[in-house]
Chain A
């Protein structure tokens, strides 16, 4: 558990961080909370020549209202702050609730929302919720800033749409309007393990019917999955439609097989957990 030698850079502003990235390019890795990067380095599965520590960069923490019906969350905001933030709890409680299931208490105090998303691990809990919410990230590089929709951000296994010279500065999520309910069913071997499969079910309730639904899946492929077939099948329906709709939750997925589950078992779990998540979300 001893990493290879690396150079350490600690910028104090976003501009300095961008400059350091520009200088070192793909030889550098950004250090946010470190709970993904440092274990990889200690196992020598990653050996970056330069580590750029974002821990002292001003302006990357905190939550604010953007003004267009969205919340902006600084990329270096740690998970436990997201869980407790009054704006998030009031307007996007699902994010707080899913974040509460990330890792363990230590991880939630060190890990950050931007770091967890930029790592691009579909087994992480946050990519699926960002996708289901239709959120986005703000990336900054030498050429300025750009907004990347969640649907475009997650490209492949541990791969995002970020360029080598970009960093995530902000995460944006919509304020939920109306009578929303949600449940994240995280299915794991022990209390503090990665999800074998996770299913997020969100429903907007209206007069005993489901006006709108969102379904996001964790660890069902190289990218987080949004189940539009299931969402479409229950839009405008009564809760009785959930069971049949959930049977489509695994449509088009291609999860991996590993020690915890075969691809077939994962697809089965995705259907069962989606049914349970949506049923609980309806309340």
Chain B
């Protein structure tokens, strides 16, 4: 893909200790909440304790009398400050219903946590105390909590200004679906529930906004994954000219999609900075964040798969209810429809029918959460394949292998109409089975079943792929996504021969600084230590599409490579000029240009940088600059894949599930930094396993969040995790010059069905065919009790 010689690899593909860690682990961090500005005021919000109510009066006068209180506003006080409601950038259908979403509600609150007033004080303690003096009168309305009830005739409305609880119905049918099911030899039908989750980034959300002072611009620091998108959207929401707003994402401690948004508090702080002419800060508490930061997942899936006599798949029908929560946030409706391209997964079939209904409820809005639509789809298809294998009486691997795309068939256009560029499911599966001792564990399982051991062994399989690296802008446009998927990078050679790399992606734990340094070091021939990576500030990285959907490396890293290539192309011109040689006669390796056959006639990138800075002698047909900009827009998504195997011990007396062995063989193409990749897989596995075994956001019938703190919402710790046996196969991507695929979400997507398939496999002899997630002792025990009473679906139906 590049016009220059391929430099010898010195950094790419080896573990480099992360450049970020020295400052992160020694407390030299720059978290948003650490920021102190002169005269800064502190903001606290008054939030609705009711899931759905008319707001009949809000009185802030008593709060204004409290010590240190500078201002207090109701929703009505601020209503004129919004140029628009908070944005949803993914109108999936032309007739999608989207409620107006003001940062501070005025007449009606629609979930517990919806803000109704704001207090501004000199300290955060004073602000928190004063919140209790804001008097709000509510007139309760019926809460809509359950999706099926929400669309039943006569249901109360989650938003009384709308005429329906259904936001949209999105449908895509590929192939002749009726033909596929008519005359099928076997049809397996299941309902699966993919429960609501709370992302729980380790750093809570925090926003600081400073009004224009010495410069004519507002500056916002936010714990965001998307400073560039935030800048544009806040400009539109608050009516601030885009060029007068600078957004900085300083050190950000995790996001997992929950910081891929434009939040009420971000818009609110910009407006407060404008009204009060003072810097303002807001930081959520953990329990506040559990209500006011987007949740993830929450789907009910009705699935049917049709087979031929020879067990090849004819077709798949998918019908989803997807819980939007009370409002559509930035990409809320787009998350479940990604399933239209993912339910078919690695399997060949003649027809696919996908229908998704987006439903409003009086709950916290959902949005992207690590995997965003693909974990739900992967869970559905991998569970369904296991259930079908059981009904057909075949080994679950045999059914998979019969139907998956063979390695020689790539590139392969799937039934959903997208082209998988590369993959080798056979290789990843063979390696996983070997690492796992698949046959040995199956033999032990037979023995344990025969002996009636109260602790049964189960084996779970997940052969997954996913689409990530949100890139092809034209494809995103065809899906009505509100933005493109390109990415930008610049490289600036400094006079001293050091290099600055500017990236439009904005890390929040991924290690961009390290990986980008490795790419640039090899491409430029500049030592790894001499490269500084800059990011996350719209005044420094002036354009970017930010970080989500495992896109940073496959799009942003690609852009860095191209920007480096452009610098080297310029440097080659200069080198040829200085060495009095033809460009074609120069070799470039390790930062040195030399004349072919005369290696002593050479110059280095550092010397060239100084020469171009001095500009005393450079080619006449170029500017004296070694800087470059690159904006890349890959033509396809990225399709990592892998085979994950999980062995669980299930205590049939207590319902306790213990993971005994977990093997993950992932194929993410070429690797820049193996240790960072391993960390991504480990974290992804932890989050996917957490969905399978521990985490669930639970609401009661009145719409109260019952799992409102870390006391009740079980985020596992390292002590709860099993050992992970990891390996990789390497099938390079053909869609970027680095050959890399996305890895940020792979572990999360793959692991959830592997674990639940293992739990169900352990209990199958007891008649259990499904266990509700999380597979808590209670849910497992209930499934066993129900099966002994003749009900085998674990409670899903």
Contacts and interface: CB of A to CB of B under 8 A. Distances in A.
Contact of B777 (A5, A43, A187): A187
A2 B715 CA distance: 23
B709 interface: yes
B128 interface: yes
B778 A261 contact: yes
B455 to A, nearest CB: 12
B652 to A, nearest CB: 10
A5 B125 CA distance: 9
B776 A260 contact: yes
A4 B285 contact: no
B125 A265 contact: no
Given A261-B778, A262-B778, A192 B717 contact: yes
A269 B777 CA distance: 10
A260 B778 contact: yes
Interface string A245-283: 000000000000001111001001100110000000000
B716 interface: yes
B125 A187 contact: no
A190 B712 CA distance: 11
Nearest to B782: A265
B192 interface: no
A20 interface: no
A1 B286 contact: yes
A196 B781 CA distance: 14
Contacts of B719: 190-192
Interface string A1-30: 110110000000000000000000000000
A103 to B, nearest CB: 12
B677 to A, nearest CB: 27
B720 A187 contact: no
A84 interface: no
Contacts of B10: none
Given A190-B694, A272-B654, A259 B712 contact: yes
From DSSP, what is the main secondary structure of chain A's interface residues? loop
B708 to A, nearest CB: 10
A46 interface: no
A187 B656 contact: yes
A260 B774 CA distance: 11
A191 B124 contact: no
Given A187-B777, A259-B712, A2 B128 contact: yes
A192 B715 CA distance: 10
A265 B776 CA distance: 12
B129 interface: yes
B142 to A, nearest CB: 24
A269 B654 CA distance: 6
B578 interface: no
Nearest to A275: B653
Interface in A217-244: none
Interface in A174-196: 187, 189-193, 196
Contacts of A2: 124-125, 128-129, 285
Nearest to A193: B714
A243 to B, nearest CB: 12
Nearest to B690: A190
B707 A259 contact: yes
Interface residues of A, number: 22
B51 to A, nearest CB: 18
A189 B776 contact: yes
Interface string B637-664: 0000000000000000110100000000
A261 B780 CA distance: 11
Given A2-B128, A43-B709, A272-B654, A261 B777 contact: yes
A1 B124 CA distance: 11
Contacts of A43: 287, 709
A241 B32 CA distance: 62
B481 to A, nearest CB: 37
A5 B132 CA distance: 12
Contact of A268 (B129, B717, B720, B781): B781
Contacts of B654: 187, 269, 272-273
Contacts of B776: 189, 260
A259 B717 contact: no
B694 A259 contact: no
B129 A272 contact: no
A163 to B, nearest CB: 29
Interface in B750-791: 776-778, 781-782
Nearest to A272: B653
Contacts of B698: 259
B706 interface: yes
A237 B782 CA distance: 34
Interface in B620-679: 653-654, 656
Contacts of B777: 187, 189, 196, 260-261, 265, 269
Interface string B697-739: 0100000001101011011110110000000000000000000
Nearest to B651: A272
Nearest to A43: B287
B590 to A, nearest CB: 49
A262 B779 CA distance: 11
Nearest to B708: A43
Interface string B324-337: 00000000000000
Contacts of A193: 714
A261 B715 CA distance: 18
Contacts of B124: 2
Interface string B284-295: 011100000000
Most buried by A among B129, B715, B717, B777: B777
A251 B272 CA distance: 61
B598 to A, nearest CB: 66
A260 B720 CA distance: 17
Contacts of B720: 190-191
Contacts of A39: 711
A193 B776 CA distance: 14
Contacts of B778: 260-262, 265
A189 B694 CA distance: 7
Contacts of A190: 694, 714-717, 719-720
A43 B125 CA distance: 13
A165 to B, nearest CB: 29
15 contacts: A1-B285, A1-B286, A1-B287, A2-B125, A2-B285, A187-B656, A189-B694, A190-B715, A190-B717, A190-B720, A191-B716, A191-B720, A192-B717, A269-B777, A272-B653
Interface of A: 1-2, 4-5, 39, 43, 187, 189-193, 196, 259-262, 265, 268-269, 272-273
Return the 5 tightest CB-CB contacts between A and B, nearest first: A191-B719, A2-B128, A1-B285, A272-B653, A189-B714
Given A2-B128, A190-B694, A260-B777, 5 more contacts: A1-B286, A5-B129, A190-B720, A261-B778, A262-B778
